[in-house]
Structure 1
Amino acid sequence: MIFVTVGMSSYKFDRLLIAMDKIATEINEEVIMQTGCSDFVPENTTFYNYLSRKEMDRLYEKARVIISHGGVGSVIAGIIQKKPLLVVPRLKQYNEHYDNHQVEFVSKIKEEKKAIIIDNPKEILSYLLKKELWDLDLELEQDNTLIFNLKEYIKSLRN
């Protein structure tokens, strides 16, 4: 199962949802999407606007692949599950967020090889079909170096 989450933002992320609904017709795997505040109604996937934390955790655990927006909580949840994680940051130019902080955040995740960062959701299909392209480090450091580095990075953004 592929789980797609756009988080709890008050901004829509239809660019990702529409792409994944189309991709669902081209793969032989269940796709479940958490669609947030979107008005888009997927035709080819199971979807929920919002889910409880418990239900989100259950879907993260069940998923073979997680596809997420670039929100800190969603990305960290995916990393903790040690599952292949594709991240599509929301972009200001498409009115998906008020700025491009998700792009800045996911650049740190990319450096650590904890996720594949995708700018255009239409590229997701190629990653789902060609898993040998993935070069991810799914192990978590015992000393929580990644979490510490991310916390420091987030603090620097606030200053």
Structure 2
Amino acid sequence: MIFLTLGTQLPFDRLVRAVDEWCHARGRDDVFGQIAEPGDAGYRPRHFDWVAHLPPADYGARFAAARLIVAHAGMGSIITAMELGKPIVLMPRRADLAEHRNDHQLATARRFADRPGIHVVPDAAALARTLDRLSDRTGPAPHAVSPFADPRLIEALRSLIRPPRG
């Protein structure tokens, strides 16, 4: 399954429409989306199953079961994908398109773009190409990262906070 997640605060019509069009063009029926409430004028996908919101346990189960994640450039989605070793395709929301209040998602995407398993796309055409390349890929998943800091970092910080007595 490919899991599309947009967070819970704002709809993201540009990404939802791009995934919906990709599903239609490729005859895909293996996409599920948690897309926030699209509102009266928002885009409602016709070619994949979706809900506005998932309870946390269901969200976690969908995320864990997915072989590929498609998301906005939200830190929750990025960190969860990294912790679970899931490849993720990010399309950042853009302020100039009234998708967000500022461009922090562009900055976030730039910061993570060089990480293994993280694929950043600027638009629908790049998303389609990336989904074509990754959607049926088999092979090793990105290496999962620990949700905890490296013990050496913790010890270095501890020594700064509590210098040795002597």
Which TM-score band (shorter chain)?
0.7 to 0.9
For 2:88, the aligned partner's letter is L
* Distance (Å, rounded) in 1 between the aligned partners of 2:21 and 2:115: 30
Root mean square deviation of aligned Cα: 2.4
1:89: which partner in 2?
92
Gapped regions of structure 2 (runs ≥ 5): 154-166
Deviation digits for residues 80-127 of structure 1, max 9, x if unmatched? 121111011110011110000011112221133340011113322212
Aligned residue for 1:3, secondary structure, equals strand
The separation in 2 between residues aligned to 1:137 and 1:64, in whole angstroms, is: 9
Match of 1:67 in 2: 70
**Which stretch of the first structure deviates more once superposed, 59-68 or 110-119?**
110-119
Partner of 2:156: none
- Post-superposition shift, 1:12? 2.5
Specify the SS of the correspondent of 2:53.
Answer: coil
Q: Deviations over 1:34-60 (max 9, x none)?
A: 111313221110000011111111111
Aligned residue for 1:125, secondary structure, equals helix
2-structure distance, mates of 1:114, 1:3: 15
The normalised TM-score by structure 1 is 0.80
1:45 aligns with 2:48: yes
Deviations 1:3-57, CA, capped at 9 Å, x for gaps? 1011012x33100001111111214441111111313221110000011111111
- Structure 2 distance, partners of 1:129, 1:15, is 18
Residue pairs, 1:9-158, within 5 angstroms = 9=9, 11-25=10-24, 26-38=26-38, 39-131=42-134, 138-141=142-145, 144=149
Indicate how the Cα distance of structure 1 residues 128 and 63 shifts in structure 2: closer, same or farther if over 3 A, else same. same
Gaps of 5+ in 1: 149-159
My pick for the range that moved more, 77-86 or 108-117, is 108-117
Is the CA contact (8 Å cut-off) linking 2:85 and 2:145 kept in structure 1? no
- Assess, with a 3 A threshold, how the Cα gap between structure 1 residues 18 and 28 changes in structure 2: closer, same or farther: closer
TM-score normalised by the chain length of structure 2: 0.76
In 2, Cα distance between the equivalents of 1:23 and 1:69?
Answer: 17
- Give the distance between the partners of 1:61 and 1:52, measured in 2 at CA: 14
Count of residue pairs brought into register by the alignment:
143
Output the CA distance in 2 between the equivalents of 1:58 and 1:121.
27
**Based on CA coordinates, which of the two structures has the bigger radius of gyration?**
2
Counterpart amino acid of residue 2 in structure 2: I
Using the TM superposition, give the Cα deviation of residue 74 of structure 1 relative to its aligned residue in structure 2, in angstroms. 1.4
Identity %: 23
